[in-house]
Structure 1
Amino acid sequence: MDIKQLRDYIKKFSLEDGDLGSQGYNRVLVQLFGYLGHGKSSFINSCKYVLQDGENFQEHAEARETDHGLTMIRNAYPLTDVITIVDNRGCSTMNDFERAEVYAQLGNFIPPGQKVNWKYNFRTMMDELEMSELEPNFTDFIVPIFVYSARKQIQNEEMKEVKIFMENCVRMTGVVPIIVLTFKTKGDYMEIEKEFRRIGAEQVIAIENYTNTNHMKTLGRTTDILMVIHSALKNVTFRLEQPRNPKRERIERKKFLLNYIHQIDLQEENERRSEKLKEFGIYPEKERRERDTMRSICSVM
């Protein structure tokens, strides 16, 4: 497809086009995730830009090329009457609690426009999840996108975290996240693409974002960005070929998140209990054996 065909397909996309119709969905919600400073906000600006005529670039989402990130509020930006793209808060480490907050954003349990605060206890997370039931949202078809900068050095621990995130995205949405590699010309994106495909990515698209200082439209850059949106919509069309139940799917997402938070709480409680026992000289079996072994070695020496 050329640029005109891609743009027309996106602008005319309707959830009613399939044989089974919209099945209760009324919006495609393209959700962006990733680490701090990898270009999520710039990607939103680029998506808005390539869907318009001319070269009047506007910065809809505030973006900055740093490792600290700016997004604190879960902001939503309409691309068409049917498609909305969401700039979720980026992670720094993706530890258990941050990952739980990411899943709360993914599952639409945090309303757009609300500030996302990392929480580090079970009760606060549960309270927020229950508050989401005041106005439950089950009419958005969620498509996850993971944004990663090609100029970053890949770390094995990061890839392990992303693999877990990708697997849980499938469990929550039924869609394998599309991987968008930003800063295409500033790193070895082909090597990074191999790493993402190794951990299960099905679609990896490298792009160069448009910015305030570099926004002359080119064929390649525009096509790459349009292809990301096109791929997201193809995922929607594919999933809507089968019977869906938006209300039930939201319940399943909530059950997943409740269980995830509960497991975090159990782990935290076990660690607290272990530390408390150590204060009284009582150690878990494994640590006790290791301590006794060290004592035996020391006594021989």
Structure 2
Amino acid sequence: MDIRQLRENIRNFRLDDGDLGSQGYTRVLLQLFGYTGHGKSSFINSCMYVLEEGENFKEHAEARETDYGLTMVRNAYPLTDVITMVDNRGCSKMNDFERAEVYAQLGNFIPIGERVEWKDKFSDLMKAIENTELEPNFSDFIVPIFVYSVRHQISAGEKEDVKTFMENCVKMTGIVPIIVLTFKTKGDYLEIEKRFRLMGAETVIAIENYTPESHIKTLGRTTDILMVIDSALRNVRFRLEQPRNPKRERIERKKFMYNYIYQIELHREREKPEREKPEREKHERERMRVQLQQIQHLQESQRRSDCAIL
């Protein structure tokens, strides 16, 4: 498929093209996730650029090529009148709270345009989810996309986090996340691709983003970026070949969130005695130190008393 055909397929995509129609969906939401500084915002700029004619590059999403991400607000960027790309807040360390917030973004339980704050209480996250019931969104068809820079080596901790994230994406959306490997020429992307496939990835596409400094369109770079969007739409077409119920699916995502939070809280409660053990030992050492000082003080007083008697 050449560039013109890819571009036209994306521009002309409609949710009601299949035999079962749109089934209640009105928009495809391409949800971008990943660690901070891995190129999500740059990827959005590249996607918008390759769908346009000419070489007038614009930075729609502010991007920075560092390990510190800029995205704090869950921003949306329309690619067509049907397809929208969402730049979700990236993670830095993926602790329990960040993981829960990631799934809240994935499930559309944090409104687009709202600042994403890493909460330190699960009760706050539960309230935020409940607040979305005031204006529930049933009509977005969610496609997860995970962005990872090949300049980084996947650590053991990241491997476990990403594998679990991919599995949970399937539970929440029915789609295995599309893996986008950025900075294609800056590392061994074939080795990174192999690792993601071993984790269960079905579609892995390595790209080189366009930037203000490097924006001359080339056949290879443009094709790679268009293929990511095309792969997402093929997933949508496949899922729409089967009967879907958007309202029921949102309810199931909400159940997943509540169960996920409950399991984390349960795990934290079970680990609580072990976490508190060092603190208890610290208090015990301090108590013994005070007792030892008291004994020494008594011994010294007794010694002085004995000397006075002598």
- 1:60-139 matches, within 5 Å, as 60-139=60-139
Post-superposition offset of 1:266: 1.6
Between stretches 138-147 and 120-129, larger displacement belongs to: 120-129
Inter-CA distance 275–91: structure 2 relative to 1 (3 Å threshold): closer
Post-superposition offset of 1:72: 0.3
**Amino acid in structure 2 at the alignment position of 1:200:** G
**Amino acid in structure 2 at the alignment position of 1:48:** M
Match of 1:209 in 2: 209
What is the rounded CA distance, in whole Å, between the counterparts of 1:201 and 1:92 in structure 2?
22
- Secondary structure of 1:172 counterpart: helix
Gaps of 5+ in 1: 282-301
What is the rounded CA distance, in whole Å, between the counterparts of 1:150 and 1:201 in structure 2?
16
Match of 1:188 in 2: 188
8 Å CA contact retained: 1:44, 1:85? yes
Between stretches 259-268 and 246-255, larger displacement belongs to: 259-268
- Secondary structure of 1:102 counterpart: helix
What is the rounded CA distance, in whole Å, between the counterparts of 2:277 and 2:38 in structure 1?
43
Match of 1:238 in 2: 238
**Amino acid in structure 2 at the alignment position of 1:74:** R
Larger Rg: 2
- Secondary structure of 2:44 counterpart: helix
Inter-CA distance 41–278: structure 2 relative to 1 (3 Å threshold): closer
What is the rounded CA distance, in whole Å, between the counterparts of 1:163 and 1:120 in structure 2?
24
Between stretches 269-278 and 203-212, larger displacement belongs to: 269-278
- Secondary structure of 1:163 counterpart: helix
Identity of aligned residues (%): 74
Inter-CA distance 195–213: structure 2 relative to 1 (3 Å threshold): same
Alignment TM-score, normalising by the size of structure 1:
0.91
8 Å CA contact retained: 1:121, 1:265? no
- 1:1-301 matches, within 5 Å, as 1-275=1-275
**Amino acid in structure 2 at the alignment position of 1:241:** E
What is the rounded CA distance, in whole Å, between the counterparts of 1:153 and 1:83 in structure 2?
32
Post-superposition offset of 1:274: 4.6
- Secondary structure of 1:181 counterpart: strand
Inter-CA distance 280–95: structure 2 relative to 1 (3 Å threshold): closer
Post-superposition offset of 1:246: 0.2
Q: Encode CA deviations 1:98-132: one digit per residue, 9 max, x unaligned.
A: 11100000000001000000112221111111111
**Amino acid in structure 1 at the alignment position of 2:254:** K
Match of 2:300 in 1: none
What is the rounded CA distance, in whole Å, between the counterparts of 1:19 and 1:31 in structure 2?
26
**Amino acid in structure 1 at the alignment position of 2:30:** V
What is the rounded CA distance, in whole Å, between the counterparts of 2:2 and 2:92 in structure 1?
37
Matched length = 281
Post-superposition offset of 1:267: 2.0
- Secondary structure of 1:44 counterpart: helix
What is the rounded CA distance, in whole Å, between the counterparts of 1:278 and 1:228 in structure 2?
49
Over the aligned positions, Cα root-mean-square deviation in angstroms equals 1.3
